Amino acid sequence: MPEEYDYDLVVVGGGPAGSSAAFAAAKNGIKVALIEKENSIAETVRTSGVTWIESIKEFGIPDNCYNPIKNFSFVSPNNEVTISDSIATAAVLDVRKTYRWLANEAEETGADIFLKININEVIKNENNDIVGVKGTGPKGEIIFHSKIVIDATGFTSVISKAMGFVTQWKRFGAGAEYEAIVENSDPDTWWLMVGQEYTPAGYAWIFPLGNNIVRIGVGVGKPESDIDPTQRLKEIIEKQLGPIKKLGKITPIEFHYGLIPNDGLSRKTVFNNLILVGDSAGQANPLVLEGIRYAIRFGRVAGKVASDAIKNKKTDKDALYPYEENWRNAIETKINSAGKVQDRWIGLSDKEWDKELDIINELKTDEFLDFIKADFGLSNMLKLAMNHPKLAVRQLFNLVKGK
Ligand SMILES: Cc1cc2nc3c(=O)[nH]c(=O)nc-3n(C[C@H](O)[C@H](O)[C@H](O)COP(=O)(O)OP(=O)(O)OC[C@H]3O[C@@H](n4cnc5c(N)ncnc54)[C@H](O)[C@@H]3O)c2cc1C
């Protein structure tokens, strides 16, 4: 006999989106299961973990979970730019610690966490709506019945695929990185490295964690390039390209690899009894392939909307729509604008990158931060597109506002 459980809400996937949804739903007083296939939360790290201190504070993530960043350095084949802030605005997360803190918040609020359960099937009612999931765990088959399921399985979108609602992402980013101990590292400064030798579509990076630990990585846009990011990462380390040379001896301690959707906000994210959140919903900024703060923020919204719907005994797609409305209002125009800049960046030659860095150098710190965060408030963009003293900057921001 399979193990069998009844919950109000089942959240599949114990990443930042799933843990945050489970936390908000449990806080709202319903019975929640959070299911993760790995042996522990964040057993495998698939991300570089850069985010923003403003969001960290909003979510209540503890101070010992991140290294603050003040200086943003860019290097292209023949140019280098550093934009500095007086206070730290960005951060590199200790990903494992942060994701475990998020799951722990859910558990302390009342959610039950199930580990080592690989969900591979959906249970449907007579109307073909989802009413639970099935999987395999250490004791064999396991079944969860629920009123709503949240698909927080990340890139693979296991539940939505099993329902036949989505197919594999066609455009995505693939990234490989080493977490490494190095001889020299400035803990306040991140490096983004662009140009053909680093990667033909995307960027490479050095993100410091403090204590001479850094993450060195390469991202490659697919299908734009067929380069293997792991191979390219090994090559740029071996060649000691650009700022990598300054790190001195590099001793890798962990390897990370991951995929991130880059198909725009193309998916519907609510169906009868089902919500998609985080990477399974495609909630990522394509410019720098950033998704953690969206996964947490909209995970919480998903958990709240789902639990309200369960309490009101109405869990169809209309009852869940406030979730989709919330996240679209918050990020849709910003992500679309970021997509336009990405389209420009993905085609740049080395020479053009050298010039693009000159444009970035013209931005004031707060303009740069809004830009890299895809925080394109329309009035701000209009102002920059009309009034910036440099023509090249005006052109860049005209692109963002869609002219
Ligand atoms: C190389 C790379 C670098 C990145 N760098 C950054 C960055 O610097 N900053 C940033 O903000 N974002 C970054 N991102 C994006 C960020 O990692 C994602 O947007 C974020 O992790 C999305 O969270 P999520 O909870 O939706 O999915 P995930 O973090 O992928 O979590 C999904 C969880 O579901 C579990 N799961 C999957 N299938 C099943 C199943 N069948 N049964 C049970 N459990 C299952 C997985 O094990 C996993 O724990 C990066 C991505 C990549 C690939």
- CATH number, domain with residue 13: 3.50.50.60
The answer on 107 and 24 residing in a single domain is: yes
Cα-to-centroid distance, 285 and ligand 1 (Å): 14
Provide mean pLDDT across the span 65-87: 96
Cα-to-centroid distance, 42 and ligand 1 (Å): 9
What stretch of H or E contains 277?
A: none
The answer on 233 and 220 residing in a single domain is: yes
The answer on 133 and 186 residing in a single domain is: no
Cα-to-centroid distance, 173 and ligand 1 (Å): 12
Radius of gyration of the chain (CA): 21
- Ligand 1 site, CB within 6 A: 12-18, 35-38, 46-51, 118-119, 152-154, 156, 158, 175, 219, 258-260, 278-280, 284, 289-292, 295
Please indicate, yes or no, if residue 200 is contained in any of the structural domains.
yes
The answer on 219 and 268 residing in a single domain is: no
Cα-to-centroid distance, 403 and ligand 1 (Å): 34
Provide mean pLDDT across the span 307-313: 98
Residue-number span of the structural domain to which 239 is assigned: 172-261
Domains: count for the chain: 3
The answer on 299 and 244 residing in a single domain is: no
The answer on 105 and 127 residing in a single domain is: yes
**247-250 contact pairs (CB < 8 A, 24+):** 247/182, 247/183, 247/184, 247/185, 247/206, 247/214, 247/216, 248/182, 248/183, 248/184, 249/182, 249/183, 250/178, 250/180, 250/181, 250/182, 250/216
The answer on 247 and 119 residing in a single domain is: no
The answer on 302 and 352 residing in a single domain is: no
Q: How far apart are CA 309 and CA 303, in angstroms?
A: 10
Please indicate, yes or no, if residue 281 is contained in any of the structural domains.
yes
Cα-to-centroid distance, 152 and ligand 1 (Å): 9
Please indicate, yes or no, if residue 79 is contained in any of the structural domains.
no
Please indicate, yes or no, if residue 397 is contained in any of the structural domains.
yes
Q: What is the pLDDT of residues 320-351, one digit of tens each?
A: 999 999 999 999 988 988 888 888 888 899 99
Residue pair 74/194 in contact (Cβ under 8 Å)? The answer is yes
- Using the 3D structure, point to which of 261, 295, 318 is the last residue of a domain: 261
Please indicate, yes or no, if residue 84 is contained in any of the structural domains.
no
Alpha carbon separation from 203 to 8, 155, 174, 279 (Å, rounded): 43, 20, 11, 20
The answer on 157 and 253 residing in a single domain is: no
Output the DSSP codes for 230-273.
HHHHHHHHHTT-GGGGGG-SEEEEEEEEEEEE-S-S-S--EETT
The answer on 316 and 225 residing in a single domain is: no
Cα-to-centroid distance, 202 and ligand 1 (Å): 19
- Using the 3D structure, point to which of 289, 312, 332 is the last residue of a domain: 332
Residue pair 123/45 in contact (Cβ under 8 Å)? The answer is no
Specify the pTM: 0.97
Please indicate, yes or no, if residue 207 is contained in any of the structural domains.
yes
Closest alpha carbon to 151 in 264, 254, 267, 319: 267
Please indicate, yes or no, if residue 344 is contained in any of the structural domains.
yes
Per-residue pLDDT band for 49 (boundaries 50, 70, 90) equals very high
Could you identify the atom of ligand 1 that is nearest to the CA of residue 292?
11
Please indicate, yes or no, if residue 86 is contained in any of the structural domains.
no
Q: What is the pLDDT of residues 106-165, one digit of tens each?
A: 999 999 999 999 999 999 999 999 999 999 999 999 999 999 999 999 999 999 999 999
Q: Residue whose CA is closest, atom 29 of ligand 1?
A: 15
- Using the 3D structure, point to which of 261, 283, 299 is the last residue of a domain: 261
pLDDT given for residue 385 in this prediction: 76
Question: Given ligand 1 and candidates 136, 260, 280, which is best to mutate, with the most ligand atoms within 8 Å of its CB?
Answer: 260
Q: How many residues does the chain have?
A: 403
pLDDT given for residue 363 in this prediction: 87
The answer on 236 and 186 residing in a single domain is: yes
The answer on 123 and 16 residing in a single domain is: yes
User: Which CATH number is 228's domain given?
Assistant: 3.30.9.10
Could you identify the atom of ligand 1 that is nearest to the CA of residue 92?
8
Backbone angles phi, psi at 202, to 5 degrees: 130, -145
